Amino acid sequence: MKTTESKSPLLVFLAILLLSLIWGSSFILVKKSLVGYSAMQVGALRIFAAAVFFIPFFWQRRKHIAPEQWKPLMWAGLTGNMLPALLFSLAGQHLSSALSGMLNAFTPLFALIIGLLFFAQKFIIKQTLGILIGLIGCIGLLVSGKGFELDFNVHALWVVLATLLYGINMHLVKTKLSGLHPLTSTSGIFMMIGPIALGIMAFSGFFSVPLDAEHLWPLLAGIGLGFLGSALGMLLFNQIIRWTTAVIASSVTYLIPIVAVGWGFFDGEAIYFSQIFFMLILLAGIYVVNKSK
């Protein structure tokens, strides 16, 4: 596409850097919001806040969406936003924000695997090595504890499932929605899933939670998740996909764990050397995959 060729590598890099700061901070915001709300409430609040943010943009750009694009918008919203938001909130009840950020780095490998299996992406034999290295890193993160002791936390699988959905979402956006302006596609996505999020909020008792001093900061953290992590983050991510490819866009996960670990460190979370070690192995696998391309 012409838009891809006309964008300088520096612009793409700066966009990926900004996105890594936004998404890398989302894990600590999930943790802070869970102080006052349940996982279902936090995930739904995040999506509904983003949907509210996009209402005026959608009203202006709705005419650019063709009837056959509404279904892909719904699927993109579910796989890239609604379900991952709920899954990360569920994981956040039992995992440190730093570990969630590390496991999020599995996304590019799923993007590659999904592309090979379902989107006719060209296979390069060297990618197999990268996938195997990445799998070792991911499994190590799932079972690593203090001093390399085995400490498997089943709730980490919620994050792995979310990264699988992210991998699917990247190709859906690239193949079905890349013809739309990112503001059009992103606002359309959140208009499709916003009512679902509102229904979950009502069903989970969100509106029965008192708005007092105890719940004010968790509420603001959840709204911040929506405005930054979901609204601005997805808008920027869709633009990067439009400029480049799904795999290149997913390379933002090189930097997300660093930001997440930084926030976890400042928040006093326990971060083990074994986790850092396996995170580096996972990132090395992603590097081998991308280098082989």
**Distance separating the N- and C-terminal Cα atoms of the chain:** 19
pLDDT score of 199 more than 50: yes
Q: What is the pLDDT of residue 246?
A: 61
Calculate what percentage of the chain has a pLDDT beyond 70: 96
Read off the amino acid at residue 87. L
pLDDT score of 85 more than 90: yes
Overall average pLDDT of the 4-23 stretch: 81
Residue 63 CB burial class (10 angstroms; 0-12, 13-18, ≥19): exposed
pLDDT score of 241 more than 60: yes
Overall average pLDDT of the 48-71 stretch: 95
Q: What is the pLDDT of residue 1?
A: 40
Q: What is the pLDDT of residue 4?
A: 44
pLDDT score of 142 more than 80: yes
Of 120-129, 188-197, 235-244, give the range with the top mean pLDDT. 188-197
User: 247: which residues sit within 8 A by CB, 6+ positions away?
Assistant: 108, 111, 112, 115, 170, 289, 290, 293
pLDDT tens digits, 255-273: 888 999 999 999 999 889 9
pLDDT tens digits, 149-167: 777 888 999 999 999 999 9
C-alpha–C-alpha distance, residues 106 and 152, integer Å: 17
pLDDT score of 141 more than 70: yes
pLDDT score of 65 more than 90: yes
Q: What is the pLDDT of residue 106?
A: 85
pLDDT score of 213 more than 90: no
The model carries a pTM of 0.87
